[in-house]
């Protein structure tokens, strides 16, 4: 017998299996062995760790389809070790990392490096998203068969949109022959023009160069037309406008093979957060209006949006300590996603099982990942959440190498208190990472 872990008396919430009840969870040899009422296993059968789950939620390990881990190339912002540490501290057991590193993940050597580093670090499972185009330049397709074989779970040039419609068509056709989903960052650059925030009432107050909702919607609409043409699997990254949510809703009604995600910050914040020129509110797509935020919440509630992601995009204090228009786009989110979303639950905006679904089996289904459920035989990835733990978000306590969060100083309730990956306890609150 290998090592075993028993969680006693937690509220087990497994949306994939329609399970929401107080019970026990036995993990053995890296798999879920039993759910429900579990007889005490014979201690002489090998190592057994027992965790008291009283008052805690036990959910499938959280899955984030969209993070930037900055390795290789920009390890001063984050690397695979610090990023995977931040992930497990936030309750995420699987993270899919985007290809816009330096060099980009457009060839097997880089995919292999990310996969090997992720495995060596041994915290959250690190699943690479490979590039669509060589050098993210939108001209030549990558060798997708080889990238998939090396572990790529999807393809995306995220950070950049796929600008050329003919190239996007070819990418969709090519990726679909390997069963890879194409993920696009929808932004018509001729419309967005490098705008630092959303174009609307708030931008007239700041006087900042702004980008309209249409910059996102025009490209998303194009992509959906190309999905109809090719029949290929497509995933819309960080949907952020009411118009985009409606486009995805209609595409799904039509039966197109489309899935979509929304970020935590677009569910919590609006462009009014930019009024004080805080560069920690500068992200792309930009924070939108309250009507857009409400439409995104409705999209999560009705299943139009399959996944909630962080788009964790680390930048150092130096990177961000410049004028708003000069600052790089992006905020981090792995260590704040859960408490931020629990606030929406507390406000009654979303139901807890829906939020957990969009963080587990919802995203797993988008990329076909073997994750996000607690049925016996599933990988033993589990997150234990204390929904009542109150605290203040302090970036100096993050395990991420960067601190660029818009949630600093927020008084929140709820956090991951134990994160289990492959049956191994890797993070425990307040002790931190569990080593060895």
Q: Which residues of this protein are in contact with Zn ion, per CB under 5 A?
A: 158, 185, 311
- Specify whether 292 is catalytic: no
Burial string for 244-272 (b: 16+ CB within 10 Å, else e) reads: bbebbbebbeeebbbbbbbbbbbbbbbbe
Question: CB of 216 within 8 A of CB of 262?
Answer: no
CA–CA separation, 281 and 271 (whole Å) = 8
Exposed / middle / buried, residue 232 (Cβ in 10 Å: 0-12, 13-18, 19+): buried
Which residue has the closest beta carbon to Zn ion? 185
The residue (of 127 and 185) whose beta carbon lies closer to Zn ion is: 185
Closest by Cα among 26, 34, 31, 33 to 8:
26
Least gap, CB of 18 to Zn ion (angstroms): 32
Minimum distance between the CB of residue 186 and Zn ion, rounded to whole angstroms? 9
CB of 400 to Zn ion, least distance (A): 15
CB of 286 to Zn ion, least distance (A): 11
Contact (Cβ atoms closer than 8 angstroms) between residue 258 and residue 230: no
User: Of these residues, 311, 351, 370, 381, which one is catalytic?
Assistant: 311
Measured from the CB atom, is 158 or 217 closer to Zn ion? 158
Closer to Zn ion by CB, 186 or 274: give it. Answer: 186
Q: Is the peptide bond before 72 cis (omega within 30 degrees of 0)?
A: yes
Residue nearer to Zn ion on the CB measure, 118 or 161: 161
User: C-alpha distances in angstroms, 347 versus 268, 274, 340, 344, 413?
Assistant: 11, 23, 11, 5, 12
Provide the 10 A C-beta neighbour count for residue 275: 14
To Zn ion, the closest distance from the beta carbon of 195 in angstroms equals 15
Cα separation, 118 vs 67, in Å, equals: 14
Alpha-carbon span 95 to 70, nearest angstrom: 13
The residue among 67 and 172 lying less far from Zn ion, judged by its C-beta, is 67
Active site members: 311
């Amino acid at each position: 017998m290998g090592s075993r872990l028993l969680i006693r008396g937690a509220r087990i919430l497994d949306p994939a299996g329609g399970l929401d009840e107080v019970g026990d969870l036995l993990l053995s040899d890296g798999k879920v062995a039993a759910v429900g009422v579990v007889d005490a296993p014979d201690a002489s059968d090998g190592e057994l760790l027992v965790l008291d789950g009283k008052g805690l939620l036990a959910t499938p390990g959280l899955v984030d389809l969209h993070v930037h881990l900055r390795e290789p190339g920009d390890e001063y912002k984050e690397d695979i070790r610090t990023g995977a540490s931040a992930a497990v501290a936030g309750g995420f057991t699987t993270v899919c990392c985007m290809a816009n590193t330096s060099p980009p993940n457009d060839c097997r050597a880089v995919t292999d490096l990310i996969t090997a580093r992720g495995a060596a670090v041994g915290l959250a499972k690190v699943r690479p998203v490979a590039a669509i185009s060589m050098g993210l330049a939108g001209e030549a397709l990558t060798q997708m068969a080889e990238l998939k074989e090396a572990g790529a779970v999807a393809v995306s040039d995220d950070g950049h949109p796929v600008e050329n419609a003919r190239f996007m068509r070819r990418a969709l056709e090519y990726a679909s022959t390997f069963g890879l989903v194409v993920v696009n960052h929808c932004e018509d650059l001729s419309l967005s023009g490098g705008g630092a925030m959303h174009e609307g009432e708030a931008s007239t107050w700041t006087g900042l160069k702004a980008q309209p909702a249409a910059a996102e919607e025009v490209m998303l609409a194009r992509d959906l037309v190309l999905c109809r043409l090719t029949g290929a699997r497509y995933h819309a990254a960080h949907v952020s406008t009411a118009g985009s949510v409606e486009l995805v809703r209609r595409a799904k009604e039509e039966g197109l093979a489309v899935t979509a995600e929304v970020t935590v910050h677009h569910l919590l914040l609006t462009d009014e957060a930019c009024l004080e020129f805080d560069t920690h509110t500068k992200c792309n797509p930009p924070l939108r209006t309250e009507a857009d935020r409400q439409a995104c919440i409705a999209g999560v509630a009705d299943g139009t949006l399959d996944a909630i992601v962080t788009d964790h995009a680390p930048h150092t204090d130096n990177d961000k300590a410049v004028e708003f228009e000069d600052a790089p786009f992006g905020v981090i989110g792995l260590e704040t996603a859960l408490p931020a979303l629990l606030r929406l639950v507390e406000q009654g905006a979303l139901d807890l099982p829906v939020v957990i679904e969009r963080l587990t089996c919802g995203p797993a289904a988008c990329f076909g990942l073997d994750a996000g459920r607690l049925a016996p035989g599933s990988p033993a990835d589990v997150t234990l959440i204390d929904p009542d733990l109150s605290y203040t978000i302090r970036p100096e306590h993050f395990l991420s190498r960067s601190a660029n969060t818009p949630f600093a100083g927020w008084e929140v309730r709820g956090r991951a208190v134990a994160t289990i990956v492959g049956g191994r306890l890797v993070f425990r609150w307040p002790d931190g990472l569990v080593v060895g």
